[in-house]
Each structure stands twice: as C-alpha cells, then as structure tokens.
Amino acid sequence: MARTRFRSDRGLTLRMGGVGLGLVLLYVLFGAMLISVAGSLWVAVIITLGMAWGQWYFSDSLALKSMGAHVVTPEQAPELHAMIDRLVALADMPKPRVAVAVTDMPNAFATGRSPNHSAVCVTTGIMQRLDADELEGVLAHELAHVANRDVSVMTVASSLGLLAGFLTRWGMWFGGGSRDKNSGPAMIVVVLVSLVVTAVSFFLTRALSRYRELSADRSGSYLTGRPSKLASALVKISGDMGRIPTSDLREAQSMNAFFIAPALKGDAAQALFSTHPPLQTRLDQLARIGADLTERR
C-alpha cells in the first residue's frame, strides 16, 4: 500500500559505494604491504591509529573546544532547543547536545562518535542571518550527519590515509640514515607506496565527504519536508562566506569537513580537493526532492 516519499538516490549510493570500495581495496593493499615489508613499523601504526581513535572518541568535545563553542541549556536557548526537540522526535533519534559558538561566521556543524554521543553547534552568525525555517533546514542537515554516523565513517575512511602520510614523512626523515643495510630498499618501497596511498586516499576521502554532504542534504530535507528552505539557507550562507576576511577563517580550516558550507573559498578547479559539493549541485538535488514531494499520486 503506502510507499514512502523518501527515495534513496541510486546513483549517489552507487558512487559512494564505489568510492568506499576503492578505499577498502587501497587500504587492504597498503596493509598487506606493511605486513610483508616491515615488522618494525608497528610503533608508527599503533601511534597513528591510536591518534585517529582518540580523535574519533573525543570528537564532540574536541570539535566544540576548537570552535570555542559552549553547550547551551533549554533555558538559555529555548527556540533552538524547541526546534531540535521536534526534529529529533520526527527522526526518532536521541537528542544531541546543543552548542552555540559566538562568532560572526555563519556556520553550523555536527560532531560526535555516535548518535548517543553527539553535539550540534551553530554560530551566532548563522542565527542572525537565517530565518527560523532556514535554520531548521540547516539543523536537519546536521542531524542527518549524526544519523548517518558521518564522523565515524570519515574517521575510518581517513585513518589509514593519515598513517600513509605519517609513514611517508617518517621514512623521508629517518629512512636514509638507517644503519641496517637490508632495510634500505624495503624502506624506499614503504615510502613510495605510502606516498601513492596518501595521494589516492586524499582524493577518495574528499569525494566521499562530498557524497556525504549530498546525503545529509537529502535526509535533512526529507525530515523537514522543505528542501527549498535549506536551499535558500545555503545560498545565503555561501554568499556571506565569500565576503568574510580570510584571516578569521584560516583558524577554522581543520574543522572544514563538518561545516555545512566550507569556510574557505576554493577555485572552480579545486572541485576535486573540496570537502563540499558545489553549491549548484546541492541546489539541483534539493530542487529534485522538492519535485518528489509535490508529485501527486
């Protein structure tokens, strides 16, 4: 009888699956190389994976700290809480902690290792610029990040890439000065392979991040039923972002992956490097969702 109006985008799922598969293959090959070539690298492996794990485990408090955000109670921000209360009741998910960062940069992000340990943060800038419906669209997008477990997915996706990058640098500093003659050629192989793995995994994780953004746009706008509000919020934020002096934004660079719109302005040619899809792609998708909702049966 009833079919839901929520349609998963098959093309998007396939592309995301393809990128994920590519990452898994890359990492399996990389892992096999590590095991076969050098047993002495285990210290580096443990340190890097430990760091990635720590970043994942403490992601909510780390992200809030690095943005200078503070958690607000329902008494301090009643409208924001009421809005999120309704959205989580619609989505039937646990309520994340709500935080506000006092900065004029209009932005919002979600973080946390699982839906039970998550936080949603908005800046005072975004609350001033958007009206209630638009802000709700943005919050639904962030809650979709939480429901999709994007922090976990991106941590797993990027952790071995981090390890490869670490090994590349480490090998370059110390590999040449090795006293053990036999390990010389092996070290060169490790460094070269790590270099390639770093580069490839960089582009794959960026692609994955862009697909996750599109997914969050989809899920979020199905939750509110108002894709056009999210679209107008995106247009407002993107327009505003370009006018903000870059000196403020550089500090926020490490947080970019979890922002609703990237804080750094990239050239058109940088599409491959960017963590977020182009504005037009996002607007086109939201327009299609709007058409799905309007369709009569």
Q: Which residue has the tokens 């809480």?
A: 81
The window from 144-152, 165-173, 235-243, 265-273 that contacts another protein (CB under 8 A) reads 144-152
How far apart are alpha carbons 153 and 159 in whole angstroms? 10
Binding residues for another protein, total number by CB under 8 A: 49
**By CB under 8 A, residue 259 contacts another protein:** no
Q: What is the contact mask toward another protein in residues 184 to 213, using x (rule: CB under 8 A)?
A: ---------------------------xx-
Tell the smallest beta-carbon distance from residue 266 to another protein (Å): 22
Task: Report the site for another protein in 153-182 (rule: CB under 8 A).
Answer: 153
DSSP 8-state code for residue 263: S
Q: Which is nearer to another protein, 183 or 281 (CB)?
A: 281
Helix (H, G, I), strand (E, B) or coil at 215: helix
Query: Do residues 266 and 197 touch, judged by C-beta distance below 8 A?
Result: no
**By CB under 8 A, residue 267 contacts another protein:** no
Q: Which residue has the tokens 């953004």?
A: 213
How far apart are alpha carbons 164 and 186 in whole angstroms? 15
Which of the residues 75, 142, 251, 295 is marked catalytic? Answer: 142
Q: Which is nearer to another protein, 59 or 168 (CB)?
A: 59
Active site residue 142: yes
Q: Which is nearer to another protein, 88 or 190 (CB)?
A: 88
Encoding tokens for residue 191? 């460094």
**By CB under 8 A, residue 13 contacts another protein:** yes
How far apart are alpha carbons 113 and 155 in whole angstroms? 9
Helix (H, G, I), strand (E, B) or coil at 110: strand
Among candidates 273, 272, 288, which has minimal Cα distance to 230?
Answer: 288
Task: Report the site for another protein in 76-95 (rule: CB under 8 A).
Answer: 82-83, 85-86, 89-92, 95
Structure-derived torsion over alpha carbons of residues 81, 86, 89, 92, reported in degrees to the nearest 10: -80
Q: Which is nearer to another protein, 170 or 222 (CB)?
A: 222
Query: Which residues partner with 118 through β-bridges?
Result: 112
The values of phi and psi at residue 68, to 5°, are: 65, 30
Q: Which is nearer to another protein, 140 or 193 (CB)?
A: 140
DSSP 8-state code for residue 262: -
Encoding tokens for residue 84? 């999120």
Task: Report the site for another protein in 100-139 (rule: CB under 8 A).
Answer: 132-133, 136
The window from 181-189, 193-201, 221-229, 277-285 that contacts another protein (CB under 8 A) reads 221-229
Choosing from 125, 161, 227, 262, the residue that interacts with another protein (CB under 8 A) is 227
The window from 11-19, 30-38, 243-251, 263-271 that contacts another protein (CB under 8 A) reads 11-19
Active-site residues, by number, are 142
